Amino acid sequence: MMTSEVLSRPDRKRLEVTRRITEAAAALFIERGASSVSMDEVAVRADVARRTLFNYFESKDALLFAVAAPVLEEAVRLVRLAMAGETVGLGSVFGVCYTLHATFGGRLRLLYAFELAESDRLAALHTEYMVAFAALVERAVGAGQARLVGRLIYRNFVPLLQALEREPDGERRFMAGMQGLVAGVLAG
């Protein structure tokens, strides 16, 4: 049986402060966009001193990266995993979307909430995700409609999942809703 290492009190405190800061920043970035949020506002929301905030994150870019990179990294990983499948259909694309929402919940809105020009590192990671996502969609629907379908899915999956998250059988409803949305657009 493996035992987990017990963290020292200073380490636990550091983890707790980091969590408070990143949660406060994520909430503010989602509410108003990263460019409209100051580090002072993050410090106030996290209930830490400005100096403490800068001890943990030397810049807003570093904080933005800490908040958004895990979402984008997992998105890239899931898309690549789906691409490795023998057959890829819209169900594979919707499965990636559903898993991302199940993992990150409201934080997934960060995909839409920040301006990538603020961070070269995030811009590169976001581009990697978008290229992989586009390739997955293209493999699922073919090259002719991939751009339209990809944009449709990307812009709608988070709001739809948020609307269905407390509904019984939400995953099935999400899959059916997205399938209907895509089918309607492709038919028209």
What pLDDT, in 10s, does the model give residues 55-107? Answer: 999 999 899 999 999 999 999 999 999 999 888 999 999 999 999 999 998 88
Residues in CB range of 18: below 8 A, 6 or more apart: 56
Q: Where do the structural domains in the chain lie, given as residue ranges?
A: 9-187
The H-or-E segment that residue 6 falls in is none
The CATH superfamily holding the domain 9-187 is Tetracycline Repressor, domain 2 (1.10.357.10)
Q: Would you place residue 3 in the very low, low, confident or very high pLDDT band (cuts 50, 70, 90)?
A: very low
What pLDDT, in 10s, does the model give residues 134-167? Answer: 999 999 988 888 888 988 898 888 888 888 888 8
Q: Would you place residue 1 in the very low, low, confident or very high pLDDT band (cuts 50, 70, 90)?
A: very low
Whether this model's pTM surpasses 0.95:
no
DSSP secondary-structure letter at 106? G
Q: What average pLDDT does range 104-118 have in this prediction?
A: 74
Give φ, ψ of 114 to 5 degrees. Answer: -130, 155
Q: Helix (H, G, I), strand (E, B), or coil: what is residue 3? A: coil
DSSP of 48-102, one letter per residue? --HHHHHHH-SSHHHHHHHHHHHHHHHHHHHHHHHHTSSS--HHHHHHHHHHHHH
67 neighbors 118 (Cβ within 8 angstroms):
no
**Percent of the chain topping pLDDT 90:** 55
DSSP secondary-structure letter at 135? H
Looking at every residue in the chain, the average pLDDT score rounds to: 89
